[in-house]
Amino acid sequence: MSHRTIRVSLPGDATPTSDRSYDIVIGAGAMDSIGAALRSAGARRAVVIADSAIVEPHAARVAAVLGAASIDAAVLAVPAGEASKSVAEAGRLWGELARLAVDRGTHIVAVGGGVVGDLAGFVAATFVRGLPVWQVPTTLVAQVDSAIGGKTGINLTAGKNLVGAFWQPRGVFADIDALATLPRREFTSGLAEVVKYGMILDAEFFHWLEAHAARILTRDATALVHVVERSAALKAHVVERDEHERTGLRAVLNYGHTFGHAFETAAGYGTLLHGEAVAIGMAAAAQLAESLGRIGPDIVSRQQQLLTALELPATVAAYGQLAKPATADELLAIMARDKKTLGGRLRFVLPSRIGHVELVDGVDPALVRRVLGM
């Protein structure tokens, strides 16, 4: 089957010849291309790091494909769930790689959702000061977001992704087939990031999502390829222009995330799925933008309708229904600790219309409290 390919163009990090550009391959059966890709990259060995819940069928299939390409592949399973993004689990994987006598000719292949991609990416970034890593995202949120762009990391008790590295993959294989068997809640959760791309960068894509919501929910393969391809292209566009979050451009991707991370952290990881927290976070951000006079109620409402059509929580009130709500003080304290914060000032990405957002600094905490309805 033919696949779509999105190129992420990145300059060399030391010399013009050390180009770090890579391809995102999208389509049904895309993971079967990984053997040839690693061969071309000169891989001698591979270690597949996979979510324990999907070793069968996905990690086993990847290992078989690598084996067929004459690349020796060991598989390390990571317990499913956000708790695996820990110092302890990173330490365990580092020890396993040492036990396997992994050297710089060994490539890491991450198979799973965002947890495995972030964790395996961080372990790859740091073992012997950096191993090549390939991402095989098997959830929608990983295919449209976390597997692209090189952000890796683990959590501390104090907050999510507080430890990590920018470490670009050598390639991403977004296999649409893997989405067919995702639990419903996990699938729809991934659509929050998709709506986000429409809101922040692409009004036309937002319209397309409005027109095709029902078809997307049936997981029609053609619709899913378009969802993943357009999302990946938008993310690649941003990452190419601000890989290390220096210019502020990459910050647009955090639309809904300052609120969302606070909801997630306060609820305890795993209560709310990341996409659910982001959906509620976008609802909160849109309301905040409205209260600042940056958008009218029509935009708030259209976003709410699209989230609802995609079976996502669509209002701040939904937060109280899905998780034991924290107080506004607790949420504000978490937001002030967010790693994109500078000098403790509240900073939000807020829409000015569909398809465009701006970074707004020094927002009055009283307004944030009002949006939270607390």
By rule CB under 8 A, what count of residues binds a second copy? Answer: 48
22 SS3 class: strand
- Among 53, 60, 64, 159, contact with a second copy (rule: CB under 8 A): 159
Q: Is 103 in the site for a second copy (CB under 8 A)?
A: yes
In the complex with a second copy, the residue whose CB is nearer, 33 or 126, is 126
Active site residue 324: no
Three-state secondary-structure class, residue 90: helix
Tally of CB atoms within 10 A around 104? 12
Write each residue from 217 to 256 as x if it is in contact with a second copy (CB under 8 A), else as -, in one continuous string.
--------------------------xx-x----------
Phi, psi of 76 (to 5 degrees): -115, 125
Whole-angstrom Cα distance, residue 175 to residue 34?
11
Phi, psi of 13 (to 5 degrees): -90, -10
Please state the φ and ψ torsions of residue 166, each to the nearest 5 degrees: -85, 115
195, 256 in Cβ contact below 8 A?
Answer: no
Among 1, 7, 9, 13, binds a second copy (CB under 8 A): 13
Identity of the residue, 221 or 333, whose beta carbon is nearer to a second copy in the bound complex: 333
Applying CB under 8 A, among 2, 218, 343, 366 the residue interacting with a second copy is: 343
- Angstrom distance (rounded) from CA 6 to CA 22: 8
> What does DSSP assign to residue 99?
H
| Closer CB to a second copy, 27 or 153, in the complex | 153
Q: Please confirm, yes or no, whether 261 is among the known catalytic residues.
A: yes
Q: Are 170 and 21 in contact (CB under 8 A)?
A: no
Instruction: For residue 129, indicate whether it is catalytic.
Output: yes
Please state the closest distance from residue 162 (CB atom) to a second copy, in A: 6
Judged by CB under 8 A, the residue of 105, 183, 296, 320 near a second copy is 105
Among residues 3, 160, 235, 347, the one annotated as catalytic is 235
Calculate ∠ Cα 291-350-366, nearest 5°.
40
- Identified binder of a second copy from the candidate list 36, 41, 98, 214, rule CB under 8 A: 98
Region 344-363 residues binding a second copy, contact defined as CB under 8 A: 344
Binding window for a second copy (CB under 8 A); candidates: 61-69, 203-211, 261-269, 332-340: 332-340
Contact between 293 and 181 under an 8 Å Cβ cutoff? The reply is: no
Interface with a second copy in residues 68-87 (CB under 8 A): 87
- Asked about 193 being catalytic, the answer comes back as yes
254 is an active site residue: yes
C-alpha distances in angstroms, 196 versus 6, 247, 281, 288? 19, 20, 10, 16
Tokens 């929580």 correspond to 313
Nearest approach in angstroms of CB 21 to a second copy is 12
- Known catalytic membership, residue 161: no
Tokens matching residue 53: 């819940």
326 closest CA partner among 258, 265, 257: 265
Q: Is 99 in the site for a second copy (CB under 8 A)?
A: yes
Structure tokens at 264: 């997630």
Q: Which of 257, 276, 290, 347 is catalytic?
A: 257
Q: By C-beta, is 86 or 291 nearer to a second copy?
A: 86
Q: Residue 129 interacts with a second copy (CB under 8 A)?
A: yes
Bond into 57 cis (ω within 30): yes
Q: Say which of 85, 160, 170, 250 is annotated catalytic.
A: 250
- Contact pick of 112, 137, 153, 281 for a second copy (by CB under 8 A): 153
Q: Among candidates 248, 252, 246, 250, which has minimal Cα distance to 349?
A: 252
The two beta strands, 106-112 and 133-137, are: parallel
Annotation says 207 is catalytic: no
Active-site residue set: 129, 151, 193, 235, 245, 250, 254, 257, 261, 274
Question: Which residues lie near a second copy (CB under 8 A)?
Answer: 10-11, 13-15, 18, 44, 87, 90-91, 94-95, 98-99, 101, 103-105, 122, 125-130, 151, 153, 156-159, 161-166, 243-244, 246, 336-337, 339-344
